Structure 1
């Protein structure tokens, strides 16, 4: 078990392995249930609870997301909770954005220094997650004319999405959505699903279950690009990733089963609550780090 030694200042050996396996299972359930890759939850847990350095927490979370989201996406594909045309467009833009975000992340870390960098990432992470929770909790998907924002956007060319019964959706609009989420994913390790879910429902106009499956497809592709970038920088630790992945296999299947049982309205609200809980965890750690930094600066 020597590979687990020195990864966390709080735990090591069998204790750390047990925690990683438990985390993998829980996050796997959430992946199948809400269409999130799990990185938005894993990144703060690895960094805050286990003390793993932020870049390694991000890179390892993105790597985990590839396995977990591929398993969940395959299951949702069989259940027809999937919009393949949209996945290809969003994924292409998100992969470009993830690479750009990873480059920006490295520059910020070098320019700001470790303490300021971590505080900045925590602050941005909290704002984005809180906004995401508010948007998804509010609901609503179309205008009075029965069209979503991207259907009304006057930017051709357009694409029809028959599986979701959405016609004439702006392709440039989809590209902007994918690029934006990809950049944020690459910078902060935010699972694209936590941002794609509200955008797919509120901006694109998908129903909640369709948004879950489609989000997973996009998260899978964009996570590959982000993982490659962090892997080249040496910030992907397979001793962290493998225990998470092994236990996620069962968790993902349970999550998809629960997803099919929930009404779309309840699915949205439960997702919003989950995001708010993660935001609260980050806020607590942000205040703790800020007080520590202030104390050190005053010495």
Structure 2
């Protein structure tokens, strides 16, 4: 079966709108694309996750080039995150490869995990500032945090992201940025976001290739999604400065919460 016989233009249309939202809000495509594939197109959850991981690797590579050119990457943070996330991704892939991925229990587990991650992303979008202030306040009330402790906590964050992203394709952006902002108050937000995006590229690429090895990537669907999403991201990035940030974030958070709830309680 060749590419053109399986080409579905609706994937490109969906990719365009998801890409535009990613460009406007900065929220990772996994939070939007994976549930869209599962709920709207009926794609098997494991295949949706595997395909979306490679989709994220490609789209975030463009962001890596931009942040590299602008010198908004802290490579020390990237290395610490990767030290935890890549081994965790490998272990998670080993686990996924050893189960019957079409078993009802396995499908339900991945779907519910995806739903909870979407709800968590929605909460972080709305309450990120308060959560960061609370964490920093707790850290100030204790003894000064040693650099070695911050390094260890960053590796643990990477490990957590490795498991969650490999299992659901969601979490690298919302959860990663929130915790990093609390751990590294001296870094500018642009450096935190840049470092998080750069770290997401090898993580999603490694996890996505792992899903390909076990046969859970739909290449035709991936290419069709990218055909729409790349111009969508470009347009969204240009629209972003003109859009009311709080309104867009609130609408996106409500959407993710509703979709997440549907996945959990379906």
| Same fold (TM > 0.5) | yes
- Secondary structure at 2:120's aligned position in 1? helix
| Deviation larger for 192-201 or 55-64 | 192-201
Whether the 8 Å CA contact 1:25–1:248 is kept in 2: the answer is: yes
TM-score when scaled to structure 1?
0.74
- Secondary structure at 1:156's aligned position in 2? helix
1:11-26 equivalence runs, <5 A: 17-26=8-17
Counterpart residue number, 1:76: 67
Alpha-carbon distance in 2 for matches of 1:259, 1:147: 34
Whether the 8 Å CA contact 1:36–1:69 is kept in 2: the answer is: no
| Structure 2: unaligned runs, 5 residues or longer | none
Counterpart residue number, 1:47: 38
In the alignment, does 2:119 pair up with 1:134? no
- Secondary structure at 1:65's aligned position in 2? helix
- Secondary structure at 1:192's aligned position in 2? coil
In the alignment, does 2:167 pair up with 1:187? yes
Among 200, 203, 216, the alignment partner of 1:222 is 203
Counterpart residue number, 1:63: 54
TM-score when scaled to structure 2?
0.81
Q: Mark the CA change 1:87 to 1:27 in structure 2 (over 3 Å): closer, same or farther.
A: farther
Whether the 8 Å CA contact 2:122–2:257 is kept in 1: the answer is: no
Alpha-carbon distance in 2 for matches of 1:222, 1:148: 34
Whether the 8 Å CA contact 1:35–1:215 is kept in 2: the answer is: no
Where relative contact order (Cα < 8 A, 6+ residues apart) is larger, the structure is 2
In the alignment, does 2:106 pair up with 1:114? no
Q: Deviations over 1:17-72 (max 9, x none)?
A: 22111222222233344444412321111111111111111111011111100012
Q: Mark the CA change 1:127 to 1:55 in structure 2 (over 3 Å): closer, same or farther.
A: closer
Among 152, 156, 164, the alignment partner of 1:176 is 156
Alpha-carbon distance in 1 for matches of 2:195, 2:141: 17
Alpha-carbon distance in 2 for matches of 1:262, 1:145: 34
CA RMSD of the aligned region, Å? 3.2
- Secondary structure at 2:173's aligned position in 1? helix
In the alignment, does 2:190 pair up with 1:198? no
Whether the 8 Å CA contact 1:39–1:190 is kept in 2: the answer is: yes
Q: How many residues of Structure 1 are paired with residues of Structure 2 in the alignment?
A: 261
In the alignment, does 2:112 pair up with 1:123? yes
